[in-house]
Structure 1
């Protein structure tokens, strides 16, 4: 059984007065195995954000299923969704989503606080993650006192502290300079190599080139996919670039 199984997702949005309907997702199906690193790409308006919101249990599809270890998250009652997200999903977003009135440490521990974990357990989880991400020295600081790269590493720590089954990353390098982006991508490589399953939504060919598989969304459907195999990041980068060009121009995908 795959870790994540997405079946025939369809999402239709109606305008405020219901006069016009917009189809964001037409028929999306794919699966993600435990330990995979999958990137999702596509032009603006292709349906990537809608798909991510549904996978994150922030939105519900018009039809279709999203199974996480066989549990259909589409059917989880609204009052249980927040707890489900905290317990099973980790989130890394472009704008970090850190609270400026909380220290870095408190930002990272917040999901565990909300889950009412004991303080000793929180400390036990925090220390090795902070050390691995190289942020132990900034834990007492506040987000406005640290760099963008440090903020993103803190956001990664917050995503990992709950020991999630799946990490969802939405344009995680979008607000970073090239140096910090490179550091974050190497960090995600290491996290994946340690067994963490990652699903990355990105416009960045460089970011997607670190994934083991890339899904391309077009007109609300999975239009094409690439498998890394034994290819290097550089070779994967070129294959992705060629595919995006073909996607934009209607060229050959063979």
Structure 2
């Protein structure tokens, strides 16, 4: 069953000065099945960020449609969008987006507080998550007191605690050192094994090689895709690297 369906997405921006039209997305089509772990890659300016913003309902397409578990995003009233986003989507950002004036625990609780979830239910959800992510010992600390890797694990906990249909991760390893990157990618694999659907936008071949499928965006459309299947991670890494070379040298593929 498809959790996410993307049909003929097009996005055109009109610049303020001179009214020039910039086509960020041309014709994007793909779906993500329940329990899949999909990475999206492409050069800067290929439309990745625009696509992510539309999938997150932070922007509207010029034409086309996005469905999450059969619900058309275009049918959700503006007044309901923020609550819908909070209930259905979990977000993991490159720069963590934690509030320094809140403890790690309160940062994780924030989406549930906004949803008026009972305190007992919030605590019940937090305990196993914190154990799985290895952050039980830092819950009372503040973001400025912990490492980048610990901040990102807290951000993952905040994304997961609402039990979202889909995790959207935007360059989640971009601000991490190599060791913290390895640790976070292991966490993503673990939560995916437990059935969580993940869609990650990344520049990192290493991060993408952990996904089950990689979509490549070029000139505002899906140019190519790779399924991991039985490939070992080293072989997947090489296939991704070769495809990125093809992208930058102007090759042509729509596999």
What is the TM-score normalised by the length of structure 1? 0.98
Match in the other structure for 1:9? 9
For residues 195-246 of structure 1, give each alpha carbon's deviation from its aligned partner in whole angstroms, at most 9, with x where no partner exists: 0000000000000000000000000000000000100111100000000001
**Is residue 104–residue 154 contact of structure 1 (8 Å, CA) maintained in 2?**
yes
For 1:77 and 1:18, the matched residues in 2 are separated by: 32
For 2:33 and 2:239, the matched residues in 1 are separated by: 22
1:213 lines up with 2:219 in the alignment? no
1:197 lines up with 2:212 in the alignment? no
Larger CA deviation: 243-252 vs 221-230: 243-252
For residues 129-171 of structure 1, give each alpha carbon's deviation from its aligned partner in whole angstroms, at most 9, with x where no partner exists: 0010000000000000000000000000000000000000000
Match in the other structure for 1:48? 48
> For 1:108-187, what aligned pairs fall within 5 Å after superposition?
108-187=108-187
Moved over 2 A (4+): 250-254
1:244 lines up with 2:244 in the alignment? yes
For 1:18 and 1:76, the matched residues in 2 are separated by: 33
Residue segments in structure 1 that go unaligned for 5+ positions in a row: none
For 1:248 and 1:184, the matched residues in 2 are separated by: 28
Aligned residues between the structures: 254
**Is residue 37–residue 192 contact of structure 1 (8 Å, CA) maintained in 2?**
yes
Tell me by how many angstroms 1:17 deviates. 4.9
For 1:86 and 1:15, the matched residues in 2 are separated by: 31
Root-mean-square deviation over aligned CA pairs: 1.1
Match in the other structure for 2:20? 20
For 1:69 and 1:83, the matched residues in 2 are separated by: 16
1:38 lines up with 2:17 in the alignment? no
For 1:134 and 1:223, the matched residues in 2 are separated by: 38
Question: SS of 2:2's equivalent?
Answer: coil
For 1:10 and 1:237, the matched residues in 2 are separated by: 30
**Is residue 93–residue 170 contact of structure 1 (8 Å, CA) maintained in 2?**
yes
Taking a change above 3 Å as real, the CA distance of residues 245 and 16 of structure 1, as seen in their structure-2 partners, is same
> For 1:28-107, what aligned pairs fall within 5 Å after superposition?
28-107=28-107
Question: SS of 1:3's equivalent?
Answer: strand
Tell me by how many angstroms 1:25 deviates. 0.3
**Is residue 61–residue 74 contact of structure 1 (8 Å, CA) maintained in 2?**
no
Larger CA deviation: 213-222 vs 242-251: 242-251
Question: SS of 2:44's equivalent?
Answer: coil
Question: SS of 1:43's equivalent?
Answer: coil
For 1:181 and 1:233, the matched residues in 2 are separated by: 15
